[in-house]
Structure 1
Amino acid sequence: MDNNTVQLVELNKENWYDCCTLEVSENQVNHIEPNAVSIAQSKFEPSLKPYAIQYEDKFVGFLMFNTTLEELDGYWIYRIMVDKNYQQKGIGKKATKLMIDEMSKLPNCKKIVVGYHPENIGAHQLYASLGFIDNGDRFGKEMAVVLNI
């Protein structure tokens, strides 16, 4: 897959509803909030930056990250999802790399952190392949992995 076919587009009035209609596969439903909830959250927490994931000419995913330092002295990835019809094509990995590039530009960015349920094998494989390390940090039901920048 060519890097140019996957792009991050800031969420706006033209694409937000497209993101609300995207769905994860049935076995992922319990691991992630619906996009509509994340979009609403971003309106009340202005440090959260939501993006649509565009593949060729379609919106196929959604992601969101925080622009303020949080736990573990890092910037946190809040959401990333790819619609069930576009999974297993490398889109999520390309989008995550683009998100890491954006987050790396934030002030004093030394760590990027993401939390997920330990049984979410897909998330574990994705983040491990990108260099995230499990240092044993746990927050409630989620494990947190860290990428040192």
Structure 2
Amino acid sequence: MEVKLRGVTKDNWEACCELELTAAQQGFLEGNVYSVAQASFEPTLVMRAIYRSDRLVGFLMYNTEREELDGYWIYRLMVDRRHQGSGIGQEAIGLLLEEMRQLPAATCIVVGYHPDNHVAHHLYERLGFIDHGDRFGKEMAVRYTF
């Protein structure tokens, strides 16, 4: 499987907005259209389209400024419902961690997710993110350290 991260551009942003979650995941993430709008007003946010071979299969967004827990935050990870369960999310996060490692003084990457999102919990745990008990509103936050 060849997974790559590419920029979100005028040529693929609409297709990113058309990616879908499963019905059970609907309450866990904002829609990608919200993320595209948010990134247009917050210049420190970076969007990435996830491709498998040359097919758009997911979306990521992260912040290039440190925030809570003195870390850089991953704001979004979503893989289209038709492509879930094949390791794309794991590959994409691995690539994203390599990219984020290049940020100034990057030592900690944080991601927040709904505590009922067991798929996300197992994914981040498998990748080495650790739950230190941090909670922000309705989300739990886990940390990855370099």
Q: Aligned-pair distance for 1:100? A: 0.6
Which of 47, 52, 63 is 1:50 aligned to?
47
Look up the match of 2:18.
21
Aligned equivalent of 1:120 = 117
Aligned identity (percent) is 55
Among 114, 121, 132, which residue is 1:135 paired with? 132
Corresponding residue of 2:84: 87
Report deviation, 1:108: 0.5
Gaps of 5+ in 2: none
Question: 1 or 2, which has the higher helix percentage?
Answer: 1
Q: With the length of structure 1 as denominator, give the TM-score of the two structures.
A: 0.97
Structure-2 separation of matches of 1:69 and 1:142: 18
Structure 1 unaligned segments of length 5 or more: list them: none
**Under a length normalisation based on structure 2, what TM-score does the superposition of the two structures give?**
0.99
Deviation at 1:57, TM superposition (A): 1.4
Runs of 4+ with deviation above 4 angstroms:
none
Query: How many residues in Structure 1 have an aligned counterpart in Structure 2?
Result: 146
Looking at structure 2, the residues matched to 141 and 30 of structure 1 have their Cα atoms a distance apart, in angstroms, of: 11
Q: CA-atom RMSD, angstroms? A: 0.5
